Copies of this chain bind each other. A is one copy, B any other.
Amino acid sequence: MKVSIVGASGYTGGELLRLLLQHPQVEVHQVTSERNAGKPVTRLHPNLRKQTQLAFCTMKELEKADLLFVALPHTEFMKRFDLLAPLAEKIIDLSADFRLKDLSVYRKWYGMEHAQPEKLAEFIYGNVELHRQEMKQARYISGAGCNATAAILGLWPLFKLGVIDTTLPVVAEAKCGSSEGGNSASEGSHHPERSGCVRSYKPTGHRHIAEMEQELGQTIHFSATSIDMVRGILVTAHLFVKEGITEKDIWKTYRELYSKEPFIRIVKEKQGIYRFPEPKILAGTNFCDIGFELEGRRLVVVSAIDNLMKGAAGQAVHAMNVMAGFEETTGLSFAGLHPV
């Protein structure tokens, strides 16, 4: 399969490129970057030295491909949709442009009009676990937000199978790494300021809430805190189960929906250091590890991912595998490092 990456200079684009270069059923045809056109990709992605001779081209130079990955900044893809869409039968977009189904919700959270409102319905939301069947026929997929993915995958079976008392508020808090903010330097990302921080960057109002609520059908009170980590997200969610629900019921709930999922692991052990999910051992992997603790009716759910993998590029490659009918784990088999 011939694929190209539109917007390959950022962290997500680079991660996609790394995965696709080793994917046995894919040939990376072109990768674009307006600012870096002509330069070897290794200038921006030093981990790809000795992996590829590719250089960036401009969007104008793009040729037809079987599938386009689009990893442009938010709003850029929807503005160029008419130019890019004819280039490939299938498109997987990694921006936020086509994640929300409801135009008014888009308007509310993004504060602007959508440039392609009639196309929203054609995009399948990117979490394979929730939308596998639709993806198999889909032409367009919209990658899910990283924080949204961690929260949704941790909570979805619980709402789906009705174990949660939805009359009580659901609170979720993400601990986030710095790569989430992309590769542009800013005052806040300057190392002396960002190092060692525990920064309440979005106590309320994070845009990924819109996705969580869309997929879960439930109000989510979400806060995001930046910590001194580059890759990784840990979402800790606080809920209340219906009366009578036991730990066994929670186990059963997760098993029912996830037991065959290649990238979901339920992590809940009685001893050891890694009793619950931890993002650091997921760096470079496509896993979402999920754990929980029940005390009376209070349920704490913990879910961890690598934001650039399961939260972006890995998820997109997973979706491509589903779309194309490849083995789902192809190109995504890295187990993760320990210690790290």
Residues of A within 8 A of B (CB): 11, 14, 18, 21-22, 43, 45-51, 168-169, 171, 173, 175, 177-179, 183-200, 203-205, 221, 223, 225, 227-232, 234, 236, 238, 240, 265, 267, 272-281, 283-285, 287, 289, 291-295, 298, 300, 302, 304, 333-340
A-B contact pairs, 28 of them (CB 8 A): A18-B337, A22-B333, A43-B272, A48-B338, A49-B267, A51-B335, A169-B238, A171-B171, A173-B173, A175-B198, A183-B339, A185-B187, A195-B228, A198-B229, A198-B234, A198-B304, A200-B236, A203-B300, A204-B293, A204-B298, A204-B300, A205-B295, A221-B298, A230-B340, A231-B337, A231-B339, A283-B337, A284-B334
Interface centre among A22, A179, A190, A289 (most CB of B within 10 A): A190
Q: How many copies does the complex hold?
A: 4
Contact A178 B192 (CB under 8 A): yes
Sorted nearest first, the 5 A-B pairs with minimum C-beta distance are: A192-B339, A46-B274, A203-B300, A191-B194, A204-B295
A45 contacts across to B, CB distance below 8 A: 338
Which chain B residue lies CB-closest to A186? B185
Contact A183 B173 (CB under 8 A): no
A180–B163 Cα distance when bound, in Å, is 35
A189–B283 Cα distance when bound, in Å, is 20
Contact A236 B265 (CB under 8 A): no
Known: A231-B340, A284-B337. 17 other contacts (CB 8 A): A47-B335, A48-B338, A49-B289, A168-B169, A169-B169, A169-B238, A179-B339, A183-B192, A185-B185, A195-B228, A198-B227, A199-B278, A200-B276, A203-B302, A204-B300, A231-B339, A284-B334
A238–B222 Cα distance when bound, in Å, is 9
Contact A230 B265 (CB under 8 A): no
A232–B45 Cα distance when bound, in Å, is 19
Q: Separation in Å of the A76 CB from the closest CB of chain B?
A: 21
Complex partner residue of A198 from B192, B278, B284, B294, CB under 8 angstroms: B278
A46 contacts across to B, CB distance below 8 A: 267, 272-274, 278, 281, 338
Given A236-B173, A276-B200, A276-B203: A265 and B49 within 8 A (CB)?
Answer: yes
A225–B175 Cα distance when bound, in Å, is 10
